[in-house]
Amino acid sequence: MIEFVQDNEERIFQALDQDVGKHPVEAYRDEVGVVAKSAKLSLSCVEKWMAPRKGDLPLVFFPASAQVMPEPFGVVLIMGSWNFPISLSLDPLIAAISAGNAVVLKPSELSPTCSSFLAENIPKYLDSKSIKVIEGGIDVCEQLLQQKWDKIFFTGSQRVGRIVMTAAAQHLTPVTLELGGKSPAIMDSSSNPTNMKVIAKRIVGAKWGSCSGQACIAIDYLLVEERFASDLIDLLAKTIKQFYGQNPIESKSLCKIVNKNNFKRLLDLLKDPLVEASVVYGGSVDEEKMYIEPTILLNPPLDSQIMTEEIFGPLLPIITLDDIYESIDFISSRPKPLAIYAFTRDEKFKKQILSRTSSGSVTFNDTLLQFLCDSLPFGGVGQSGFGRYHGKYSFDTFSHEKAILQRGFFPELEPRYPPWNSFKLHFIKLAYAFNYIGLILLLLGLKK
Amino acid sequence: MRSLCVEPFQNFSVVDTGARRTLTYCSPWKTNHKHEAVLFPPPSRPIRKSLCICLSSSSKLPVMMEEEKKTFDANEAALLVKELNESFRTGKTKSYEWRVSQLKSIEKMVVEREKDICEALYKDLSKPEFEAFVSEIAMVKSSCKEALKELKHWMKPEKAKTSMATYPSSAEIVSEPLGAVLVISTWNYPFALSVKPVIGAITAGNATVLKPSEIAPATSSLLSKLFEEYLDRSAVRVVEGDVPQTTALLEQKWDKIFYTGSPRVGRIIMTAAAKHLTPVVLELGGKCPAVIDSDVDLQVTARRIVAGKWQANNGQACISVDYIITTKDFAPKLIDALRKGIEECFGTDPMESKDISRIVSSNHFSRLQSLMDEYKVYNKIVVGGQRNQKELKIAPTIFLDVPGDSQLMQEEIFGPLLPIITVENVKDSIDLINSKPKPLAAYLFTNNDKLKNYFVQSVSSGGMAINDTVLHVTVSSLPFGGVGESGMGSYHGKFSFDAFSHKKAVLYRSFSGDSSVRYPPYTPEKQKLIKAVMNGGIFNIILALMGWSRD
């Protein structure tokens, strides 16, 4: 796998450019680099991860040993996604392999160049008897889902997540669903102008710098106090220009929209007149090249589609509040998102966000980086999914933890067996309470 | 009071939680629910319109109970979930104090009402008091004790290491409750398998609904009463009932569903959960094999098998020994030892012993009877075989070498019938086990270390015990759960807390140390530096910064 990404870096960049217009830097940072890092970590840790773990045993079991041993599930199915078509296919693949499974990978058909690149080249580097890449669309997915898998790992939308889980239920197949949601960013007032510049960069980077907003952990919408809104918008506009130049659609650093369907879907979000009227920056599109300019909206109606569905595109609504603390109720009254970003130095506010909202993850004063932190589990909760991976969590996600108790034949405890009497009951009660002294006294006839 | 049933349902044959026959089931309910293409088990009452006797003092109750049952429909269920979610949102269940208060109440409940609990278990299953204590009451008590002792520690966020890629930063993993969870329990250990998951849910800070099994009606109604008396009604509730009530509950959006029961119903639960993307823990069953090598201490082995079969609710347990595999030569010795062991534990006539549970219901009795009477196996009985339909008793019964395609070897037995299959070489047993769905537990008795290792490496099961049976589930540092057909997810000890928690990843960053490398416009230099940072070497980073990267 490491060789695969090293040998084919250029070709991967080209495929990503073809499918989503991804710049090589983004492609390395979010795809090639992630896969290389994952593979290296697994390689260095797999022996440790595979080792059984000891469990604590109460004395009353003596002599005995208890351990938990990870074992592979068997044959697993990984369904990749189109927005990070290399890393969201290969990272789970690395995980499944390190846990010892045979794997079928089904890359997304919406990123066809990457899909066929994987189908053609993975067999050249990996054991093609145990690891297969199957290409195709909905009909192929349906056929695959009818089979009995030992585990299914799915990255994608909630709608398809339901279909996958329903199919898995027929075979009692455990699933990990990496879904999405509306990941909000909160910005409070406790930042000085220098920090504000950094915040603006991080917001712009997290929205448009990640597949042009087509990322499960991209900032979906922003919450800020009314009085800071216009300054923030100005700053964001400046930063956008800084990153993407005067004409972002011409910039090589911005991804395109993956296909016509999604392009239309995004345009439809803007069709609502009230939504259209709330656009304060951007809004222009190039239908032929399928680019949408970074677009900011201010206070679109909360019941509009753009505020009820996951946007997954380069449109950023900003919702203003009277008091930033209201953001907590705002977020917690909506489905649990995959990520929450909060720019604040108010420690009390941070604590409230952590305890009164629920999300896959929370990142303070930055964006997206939680994805790179291998010691943090990456996964959703509620509508944003369940299960997790990255680092050792990847290995665990594709393993069954088998509990093993080993005993000897000696000594043998009579009170375990019928016929029952009050002595045996007393014995067991003491044993359960780990009252060893009591047990000894009982056995010596000194306890009633 | 026994649960009431006026049968509105016709045209169904026998099934209940634990049995796995597929049946057609016509019900006026079905037509309203498009998603119920798969059938849901009807109640375990016999195939006829029946009016169960109401043992309470009120004569108005038959009609009232029917109405009561009917009124818990989807609307009621929705209101219940709403109420619990509101309660959850107040933050009450998240507090350490609330969790401790509920755990202490459960402990109190078990101590003060031990007698009532044993009585209910005896009513439902003729469970001997000893077994009731050991396998139900003691287990719940020790769960509470452990949770109370460890809760502070479990609730603390776990620090996580950070790497060069996110420097400077700090990270932690925060455990938080999921919200409102549903625990659907079963009939064979109706007290423990209801209360233990509820303990897990409460320990993790959730609002909880418990739906006990209607097949253990005395325990179900006792639980309803006890929870009302001892626990915080605004966040912990019991809903009694059977198919309609469970269906109504399953239509709601829960934050987690924890189910103990059969694989067949497990599928239905997971399908219902899929609609709301609700994660599930399914504690199911399977055919738990015990492989017996010939180098064992025969007496101890036989007694441990007796303990793991007939002492475990008379074989009606998900982890009881379902069948035995041993060598042809050793089988006769083993059978003798088992016969002796049975006699030592249950006397010369086990049917008279007070130390063994009965079969839970006439449906299950009929099911087990037909397993015994199948033409392929009925003449393979070597021990036992007696039965008493009136008292719902079947003696510990051992079969020798029944055919692999007999029902006895195809279905989970869940009763006092023990087939012994012989093989030429004890190692062959592993292929036999692996040809079947993965069981919840697998047992091996041997002194041969090589065989132990081979067994542990080659057999996949929820859990395993070497040279013993069943005990591994009492070790709270070991996860208890299945794999494949035997289930998904696990609990016990801290695993219970984890099962009902969401582990939220938290990354703390500051504003200092912001590098323009992260941001567009992208350049080849930035590319080199990103590579160096992600590959983690400080040396590479320095090289890249100086323009000397290796690419």
Q: Which residues of A touch B296 (CB under 8 A)?
A: 409
Look at residues B437, B479, B444 and name the one whose alpha carbon lies nearest to residue B460. B437
- Is the pLDDT confidence value at A151 over 90? yes
Average pLDDT (B489-495) is 97
3-class SS of residue B108: helix
Tokens of A95: 């995980």
pTM for the structure as a whole: 0.90
> Could you give the residue ranges of the DSSP H alpha helices within B93-159?
96-112, 114-125, 129-132, 138-155
Largest CA distance in chain A: 92
Q: Do the Cβ atoms of A94 and A394 come closer than 8 Å?
A: yes
What residues of A are in contact with residue B460 (Cβ under 8 Å)? 71, 74, 400, 402
Distance from CA of B96 to the nearest CA of A (A): 13
Q: Which of residues 252-281 of B touch A (CB under 8 A)?
A: 255, 263, 266-267, 270-271, 273-275, 277, 279
Q: DSSP characters for B198-257?
A: HHHHHHTT-EEEEE--TTSHHHHHHHHHHHHHHS-TTTEEE---SHHHHHHHHTS--SEE
- In the sheet that holds B256-260, the strands lie side by side as B236-238, B207-211, B180-184, B256-260, B280-283, B487-488
Cβ distance of B270 and A172 shorter than 8 Å: yes
- Across the range A156-176, mean pLDDT stands at 98
- Higher local confidence (pLDDT), B110 or B541: B110
Q: Which residues of B touch A424 (CB under 8 A)?
A: 130
Residue in chain A closest to B488 (alpha carbons) equals A174
For B167, residues 6+ apart whose C-beta sits below 8 A from its C-beta are: B513
pLDDT exceeds 50 at position A231:
yes
Assess B161–A contact: CB distance below 8 Å, yes or no.
yes
Q: What is the pLDDT of residue B62?
A: 46
Query: Would you call A296 exposed, middle or buried from its count of C-beta atoms within 10 A (0-12, 13-18, 19+)?
Result: buried
pLDDT band at B548 (very low <50, low <70, confident <90, very high): low
Q: Which two tokens stand for residue A417?
A: 């067996």
Sign for the CA dihedral angle at B163, B165, B171, B177 comes to negative
Average pLDDT (A170-188) is 97
Res. A158: pLDDT tops 80: yes
Whether residue A433 is predicted with pLDDT greater than 90 in this model: the reply is no
Mean pLDDT calculated for residue range A284-310: 96
What is the per-residue pLDDT for B55?
Answer: 37
How many angstroms separate the CA atoms of B263 and B248, rounded? 20
Q: Nearest Cβ partner of B274 from A71, A165, A388?
A: A165
Give CA–CA dist B297/A410, Å, rounded. 9
Residues in B 456-515 with any Cβ partner in A closer than 8 A = 456, 460-468, 471-472, 475, 477-480, 483-485, 487-490, 502-511, 514
Task: Report d(CA A90, CA A38) in Å as an integer.
Answer: 9
Residue of A415 and A4 predicted with greater confidence: A4
Average pLDDT (A18-26) is: 93
Residue-wise pLDDT for B99-145, tens only, equals 999 999 999 999 999 999 999 999 999 999 988 998 999 999 999 99
User: In the predicted model, is pLDDT for residue B284 greater than 90?
Assistant: yes
> pLDDT at position B57, please?
39
Is A418–B353 a contact, with Cβ atoms under 8 angstroms apart? yes
* Helix/strand/coil for B481: coil
Question: What pLDDT score does B47 carry?
Answer: 37
Q: Is the peptide bond before A63 cis (omega within 30 degrees of 0)?
A: yes
Average pLDDT (B498-506) is 97
Question: Residues of B numbered 382-421 whose beta carbons fall under 8 angstroms of chain A's beta carbons: which are they?
Answer: none
Q: Cα separations (Å) of A437 from A56, A442, B145, B496?
A: 20, 9, 19, 30
Q: Which has the closest alpha carbon to A390: B338, B289, B313, B161?
A: B161
Give the burial class of A101: count Cβ atoms within 10 A of its Cβ; 0-12 exposed, 13-18 middle, 19 or more buried. Answer: buried
Question: What confidence tens digit (pLDDT) does each residue in B186-235 have?
Answer: 999 999 999 999 999 999 999 999 999 999 999 999 999 999 999 999 99
Contacts of B495 (CB under 8 A, 6+ apart): B479, B480, B481
Q: Is A129 helix (H, G, I), strand (E, B) or coil?
A: coil
Which residues are registered as beta bridge partners of B298?
Answer: none
Looking at residue A45, its pLDDT comes to: 97
Of A56, A71, A418, the CB nearest to B355: A418
Tell which A residues from 329 to 388 touch B, by Cβ distance under 8 Å. 332, 354-356, 358-366, 369-370, 372-378, 381-383, 385-388
The pLDDT score that the predictor gives to residue B529 is 82
Give the bridge partners for A77, in sequence order: A104, A152
Residue B452 in contact with partner chain A when CB distance is under 8 A: yes
Q: pLDDT class for A447, splitting at 50, 70, 90?
A: low
Element (DSSP H or E) covering residue A79: strand A75-79
Gyration radius of chain B over CA positions: 27
Distance CA B479, CA A424 (A): 28
pLDDT range class, residue B536, cuts 50, 70, 90: low
Contact call for A369 and B165, based on CB within 8 A? yes
Closest among B34, B26, B33 to B9, alpha carbons compared:
B26
Report the residue of chain B nearest A6, measured CA to CA: B551
Residues of A whose CB is below 8 A from B455: none
Q: For A265-279, B22-36, B238-252, B297-311, which range has the lowest pLDDT when averaged over its residues?
A: B22-36
Q: What are phi and psi of B180, to 5 degrees?
A: -110, 120
Interface test with A, best of B297, B502, B510 (most A CBs within 10 A): B502
- CB contact, 8 Å: B20 with chain A? no
Average pLDDT, chain A: 94
Q: Using the Cα atoms of residue B539, residue B545, residue B547 and residue B551 in order, give the sign of their dihedral.
A: positive
Check CB contact under 8 Å for B475 and A382: no
Q: What is the mean pLDDT of residues B475-480?
A: 94
- Write down the mean pLDDT value for chain B: 87
pLDDT of B268: 98
Q: Flag whether residue B344 sits within 8 Å of chain A, measured between CB atoms.
A: yes
Please give the Cα distance from A335 to A338 (Å, whole number): 10
B169 touches chain A (CB under 8 A): yes
The two tokens of residue B463 are 């859990």
Distance from the Cα of residue B347 to its chain's centroid: 32
Q: Which of B216, B237, B235, B215 is nearest to B225 (CA)?
A: B237
Q: pLDDT category, A349, cuts 50, 70, 90?
A: very high
Which one of B166, B178, B488 has the shortest CB-CB distance to A372? Answer: B166
Residue A162 contacts B where some CB pair is shorter than 8 Å: yes
**Which residue of chain A comes nearest to B282, CA vs CA?**
A172
Q: Where does residue B372 rank: exposed (0-12), middle (13-18), buried (19+ CB within 10 A)?
A: buried
Which one of A354, A382, A420 has the shortest CB-CB distance to B128? Answer: A420
* pLDDT reading at B51 higher than 60: no
List active site positions of B: 283, 318
B56 falls in which pLDDT band (50, 70, 90)? very low
Nearest-Cα distance to chain B for A412, in Å, is: 7
CB contact (8 A) between residue A373 and residue B171: yes
Within 8 A of B94 by CB-CB distance, chain A residues are 355
- CB A69 to CB B520 under 8 A? no
Give the mean pLDDT of B71-91: 94
**Tokens representing residue A283 in the block:** 């809004």
Share of chain A above pLDDT 90, in %: 85
The 10s digit of each residue's pLDDT in B401-455 is: 999 999 999 999 999 999 999 999 999 999 999 999 999 999 999 999 999 999 9
Does residue A142 have an active-site annotation? no
Contact A418 B128 (CB under 8 A): yes
Is B7 in contact with B355 (CB distance < 8 Å)? no
Per DSSP, the residues of B31-79 read GG-TTTTS--PPPSS-SS--BPPP-SS-SSHHHHHHHHHHH-SHHHHHH
Over residues A321-337, the pLDDT tens digits come to: 999 999 999 999 999 99
Out of B133, B300, B484, the one facing A409 most closely (by C-beta) is B300
Q: Are A152 and A168 in contact (CB under 8 A)?
A: yes
Identity at B188, one-letter amino acid code: N
d(CA A362, CA B531): 26
A30 token code pair: 């979010």
* Residue tagged 């009925």 (tokens): B378
Order of strands, sheet of A279-281, starting from the edge strand that comes earlier in the sequence = A279-281, A295-298, A315-321, A221-225, A184-187, A339-343, A361-364, B501-509, B169-177, B158-160
Instruction: Determine how many CB atoms are found less than 10 A away from the CB of residue B270.
Output: 26
DSSP B372-406: HH-TTTGGGEEE---EETTTTEE--EEEES--TTS
The mean pLDDT value for A340-359 works out to 96
Backbone angles phi, psi at A7, to 5 degrees: -65, -30
Q: Which of residues 219-258 of A touch B (CB under 8 A)?
A: 243-245, 251-254
Contact B480, B318 (CB under 8 A): no
What average pLDDT does this structure show over A166-194? 93
Query: What is the per-residue pLDDT for B522?
Result: 84
Say if residue B67's pLDDT is above 90: no
What is the rounded distance in angstroms from the CA atom of residue B252 to the CA atom of residue A320?
33
What is the pLDDT averaged over residues B143-163?
Answer: 95
Chains A, B: CB pairs < 8 Å:
298
Cis, peptide link before residue B521, omega less than 30° from 0: yes
Q: Phi and psi at residue B325, in whole multiples of 5°?
A: -120, 130
Q: Does the CB of A199 have a partner CB in chain B at under 8 Å?
A: yes
Which candidate in B40, B342, B490, B504 is best for mutational testing of the A interface (most A CBs within 10 A)? B504
**Residue A410, Cβ neighbours under 10 Å: how many?**
8
Q: To the nearest whole angstrom, how far is the Cα of B165 from the nearest Cα of chain A? A: 7
Contact B311 A418 (CB under 8 A): yes
